[in-house]
Amino acid sequence: DTSILLSTMTFFGLTALGPQNVFSVTSTTYRYLQVFDEDDFTQAWVKVNKQSKQSKKSNLGAVFTALFNGPVPATDKAFLENAFDETFETPETISYESFIKIMIRLRDEARADERKLEGKPKPTCEYISSNDFHLSIKKNAAMKNEVQTKQTIPLTSSQEFGWQAPPRLDPPVAGREGSDITKFAAELIKNGIYY
């Protein structure tokens, strides 16, 4: 039936567009763990550990990579490392049950942090009023924080230019040897002429 095909394609097209709020996702404070559910955690565990109920500490990195389908975002990495730092039943292993409990706790913390920001300016915002923003533009006031410290990627084409600072060039440490005219002028100055 064509209508079913079109409705499934439409649904797929809408979900394939990405996150609902691109501004919050590009924030350096956004925690991606909040989008996962318990099945996602289980699938990542099974992908790495198969049906084993125990995992080595060294396998956790692979489990997290499987969960995120790539490298762990920097905003979640520190939380994961801290949570799994001392939670092993034996020195180098963790059980599936402990893993799930910790991941659900981290996810719930991330969701709670996001709920605290609802209706308030996000950490990427420096102004809560357009009047304040326009006034600071008229005064040519500098922003408190650089955009690169608030967002992970540029959002506009004007931000793309200069997003990554060019490597700094070290100034030469040895002076240039002067030309004959410069040497002559230096000698004149030493002898009091052109003083």
Residue 152 pLDDT grade (very low, low, confident, very high; cuts 50, 70, 90): confident
CB atoms < 10 A from the CB of 103, how many?
Answer: 24
Distance CA 67, CA 154 (A): 25
Mean pLDDT, rounded, for 127-156:
82
pTM reported for the whole predicted model: 0.62
In the numeric block, the tokens 């809408």 are attached to 14
Mean pLDDT, rounded, for 34-44:
90
Instruction: Confirm if 80 and 72 have CB atoms less than 8 A apart.
Output: yes
**Alpha-helical runs (H) found in the chain:** 2-15, 22-25, 38-49, 60-68, 74-83, 96-116, 130-138, 147-150, 157-160, 180-190
In the numeric block, the tokens 């719930």 are attached to 108
At residue 5, the pLDDT reads 46
In the numeric block, the tokens 């230019």 are attached to 161
Q: Which residue has the higher pLDDT, 151 or 4?
A: 151
**Encoded tokens for 148:** 């690169």
Please write the tens of the pLDDT for every residue from 91-100.
Answer: 788 889 989 9
| % of residues, the chain, pLDDT over 70 | 82
At residue 64, the pLDDT reads 92
CB atoms < 10 A from the CB of 12, how many?
Answer: 9
Mean pLDDT, rounded, for 64-70:
90
